[in-house]
Amino acid sequence: MTGKLYNQIEHEKLSGQDISVNEVLKKLGLSKSGYYDFVGRKPSETAKKVGQRLHRIISFADKA
C-alpha cells in the first residue's frame, strides 16, 4: 500500500504537478526517508518483465 502511495506521489511530481512532496508525505503520515528510498530503488526483475510485456503489447497494438 505504501509503495502505491509513493508511486503516485512520484508520478504527480514527474508529471509537472506543482506539489510539495514533503507536505504530501507529512499529510499522509509517510516518512521522507522511506519515499526517497523507494524512488532510488531499482526495479525488481518482475517489474522489468511486466514492463517488457507491456511494451510488446503496445507495440503490437500500434501496428494493428
Query: Taking the alpha carbons of 52, 54, 57, 59 in that order, is the dihedral positive or negative?
Result: negative
Confidence of residue 45 (pLDDT cuts 50, 70, 90): very high
Q: 31 pLDDT exceeds 80?
A: yes
pTM for this structure?
0.51
Mean pLDDT in residue range 22-29: 88
Looking at residue 64, its pLDDT comes to 65
Tell me the three cell numbers of residue 60: 503490437
- Give the other-Cβ count within 10 Å of 35's Cβ: 20
Mean pLDDT in residue range 15-24: 81
Question: C-alpha angle 35/16/52, rounded to 5°?
Answer: 70
